[in-house]
Structure 1
Amino acid sequence: MLHLIPGVRPTVVIDGRGQPAQWGVGTWLVPDDEAVEITVFLFNRLWRFGEARVVLHPADTGLSYRSPLVPLGPGRTLVTSG
């Protein structure tokens, strides 16, 4: 629902470096031999919200993020392992 509110945009942070993101499926390269911290949050011009943080390990193959239904509280992540 939040993607329907004008100005709300996702941000992906990989090991402390912000990466451009947009709604939908995205692909980012991460090292395959070490753990990587991933943070996802939403922002607009007034506030930042929906933060979710997870550590991906070499055996992990994917990550999904779900925003909160309202602009309060954390987002949710789901890590898949191969």
Structure 2
Amino acid sequence: MEATQPSGTTKRRVELRITRPVLTWFARPTVTIDGVGHPAQWGIGTWAVPDDGGTVIGVYLYNRVWRFGTATRTVGTDETEDRVVYRAGWLPFGPGRLSPR
């Protein structure tokens, strides 16, 4: 297992736009980067990822009862993949979508 790098050593950032669905049922988004979860907010944010490619980014929504709208995408070193949009389904169940912007 690789040792974690000190803060500030990652130079690559991915812009992630999390769009709020019509029916959220008080849900909040969570972003996962290589399996590690981070709380997020609705809207546009940037996330630090390792410089070498193959980073798996995932987003899911949760409320106090259940988790839904899970979507994952592998982001390589290609600059066209530095902007990603997450969209959940219309209803509070089922998968979401992560697509390049």
Of 89, 92, 98, the match for 1:71:
92
Give identity over the alignment, percent.
Answer: 49
Partner Cα separation in structure 2 for residue 70 and residue 55 of structure 1: 25
Gaps of at least 5 residues in structure 2 are: 1-21
Partner Cα separation in structure 2 for residue 42 and residue 75 of structure 1: 9
* TM-score of the two chains, using structure 1 as the length reference: 0.86
- Count how many residue pairs are aligned between Structure 1 and Structure 2: 78
5 Å matches for 1:13-32? 13-32=32-51
Partner Cα separation in structure 2 for residue 72 and residue 8 of structure 1: 11
Post-superposition shift, 1:33? 1.9
SS in 1 for 2:91: coil
Post-superposition shift, 1:31? 1.5
AA paired with 1:36? T
Partner deviation per Cα, 1:2-61 (whole Å, 9 max, x = no partner): 34x3x2100000001111201111111112322101111000000000000110001021
> Hey, what does 2:82 align to over in structure 1?
61
Structure 1 stretches of 4+ moved >4 Å: none
Larger Rg computed on CA atoms: 2
5 Å matches for 1:15-54? 15-54=34-73
- Whether the 8 Å contact between 1:11 and 1:19 is mirrored in structure 2 is yes
- Whether the 8 Å contact between 1:9 and 1:43 is mirrored in structure 2 is yes
Post-superposition shift, 1:65? 0.2
Give me the CA root mean square deviation: 1.3
Gaps of at least 5 residues in structure 1 are: none
> Hey, what does 2:29 align to over in structure 1?
10
> Hey, what does 2:19 align to over in structure 1?
none
SS in 1 for 2:44: coil
